[in-house]
């Protein structure tokens, strides 16, 4: 299993709810076994810069690759990119 985790910081003028709604469209792409988009609760005592988190699980790297090549992924990226400051992503192998 591959865990795909993406952290976003948003531009001050960005509507967090609208960004989350747009990112939730990624769940319509076939291949993930779990897909969540959530606002950061900002409860950490050290750093709370992250605004939105995407967490997805894929059965293998091929499924993750197909997800990133899907037209919905491209459209979502195009819509969200102007609203975000930073994007950090990690793809890790799970058990």
Q: How far from chain centre, in Å, is Cα 45?
A: 23
Q: What is the 3-state secondary structure (H, E, C) of the chain?
A: CEEEEEEEEECCCCCHHHHHHHHHHHHHCCCCCEEEEEECCCCCCCCCCCCEEEEEEECCHHHHHHHHHCHHHHHHHHHHHHHEEEEEEEEEECC
Residue 85 domain boundaries: 2-42+49-93
Going by C-alpha positions, the residue among 59, 55, 68 that lies closest to residue 94 is 59
**What is the pTM (predicted TM-score) of this model?**
0.93
pLDDT in tens, the chain (95 residues): 999 999 999 999 899 999 999 999 999 999 999 999 999 999 998 989 999 999 999 999 999 999 999 999 999 999 999 999 999 999 999 87
Q: For residue 21, what is the domain's CATH number?
A: 3.30.70.100
Total of domains in the chain: 1
């Amino acid at each position: 299993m591959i865990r795909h985790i993406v952290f976003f910081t948003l531009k001050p003028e960005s509507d967090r709810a609208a960004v989350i709604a747009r990112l939730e469209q990624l769940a319509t792409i076939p291949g993930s076994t779990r897909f969540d988009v959530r606002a950061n609760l900002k409860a950490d005592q050290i750093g709370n810069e992250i605004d939105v988190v995407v967490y997805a699980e894929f059965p293998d790297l091929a499924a993750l690759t197909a997800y990133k090549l899907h037209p919905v992924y491209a459209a979502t990226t195009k819509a969200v990119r102007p609203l975000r400051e930073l994007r950090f992503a990690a793809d890790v192998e799970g058990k």
